[in-house]
Structure 1
Amino acid sequence: MSGNIVYIGIGSNLGNALQNVTEAINSLNRLPDTSVDKSSSFYRTAPVNATGDDYINAVARLVTGLAPDPLLDALWDIENRFGRKRPYKNAPRTLDLDILLYNRERILTDRLTIPHARLCERAFVLVPLAEIDPDIVIPEKEPLSTLLHRVSNQKIERI
C-alpha cells in the first residue's frame, strides 16, 4: 500500500448517528488499498448554518493508495449506501464524509478543494484533527493552536 496520508471528516445527524459514524470508519477501512491509521474520539456538536439534531463527528486518518478523485468517488459511494440525500445545502444527513487533507497537497478542481474549504472554521473538524495529530500542518494556514483558539467559542462535547 502506498503512503498517501489523508484525513477524513465524518459526521451524522440522522438515524442512529453514533452507529453511522462507527460503521463509516469500518467502511473506510475496507476501501481498496486503504487502512484507517487512526481515528478520533466522537464529538457531539450543534448543526452549523442548519437545523436538525446534533451531529456526531469524528476524524479518521487514512493511509491509502487511492488518488483524490477515486477516493472522493468511494466516499460518495459509502454516503449513498448510508442513504445520504442532498435535498438542499446543509440538509441533515445520515452520513457526511469529507476529504479534509490529502498529504500536504493543495488541490482545486471542479470536484475538490483540498484543504477542505471550511476546515479552519469548524471546531467539529479542528478538535478531533488535533486529537489524532496535534502537530499537523495545514498547508498555507496558521498553526493549529491559533486555529483552535479562533473556534474556541463553538460548543463541542467529547462523548
Structure 2
Amino acid sequence: GNIYEEFSGNIIYLGVGKELESGSILRLGYFGYSPELPDGGHGEDHRIRGSFTYRAKHEGWRFMHRSRLEYRKGDVPNGFRYRPTLQVAHLLSIGETKIFPYAEVEPFYDFRQNSVTLTLFTAGVIWPVTKHAILKIGHFNIFQNGPTKHTKGPLVWLHVPF
C-alpha cells in the first residue's frame, strides 16, 4: 500500500535533546499517533522514548547510529521496542548550497514478540537551510511482518534546533 492508505490520522511528537561535548546526542520524548479507524473513530498509540545518537565524519561522509528504546501502549499491545538506526550521508555542494544525500535503515525489534517486526528503508536529501532549520526530504519503504507487508511513501521532516 501507500503511506496515505496505511497511516491516516493525527501525529504529535514532543521531545528534548542535549548535544554532548563529544557530538553525541541524548533525547527523551513522547510520540502520539491517533489513526483513523474503518468505522470513523480514532485509535490510540502512545510512545515514551529515549535515544542515544553517535555521529562521525570522514572526508565528506557522515555516519550516524541511533539507539532508541521506546515503551508503547494504547490500542497496540503494551511493550518495549528497540529501534537502532544506521545512516550514511555524503556532502554535496551545489553553488553555495550544501546538501547531504543519505540512505538509512531502521529495524524495529519488539521484545514481546522476540523478533524484528518492521524495518524502514529511507533515502533522500538532508538540507541545512539555516542553522535553525534542517529539512529532510526523501522516500521510505516500510516492510512489516503483518497483513500489510509493504508500505511506501514520501518523507518531509523539519527540524528546528534551539
TM-score range (shorter-chain normalised) is: under 0.3
Q: What is the TM-score normalised by the length of structure 2? A: 0.25
Q: What is the TM-score normalised by the length of structure 1? A: 0.26
Q: Flag the structure with more relative contact order, 1 or 2, with Cα contacts below 8 A and sequence separation at least 6.
A: 1
The structure richer in strand per residue is 2
**Structure with max Cα Rg:** 2
The structure richer in helix per residue is 1
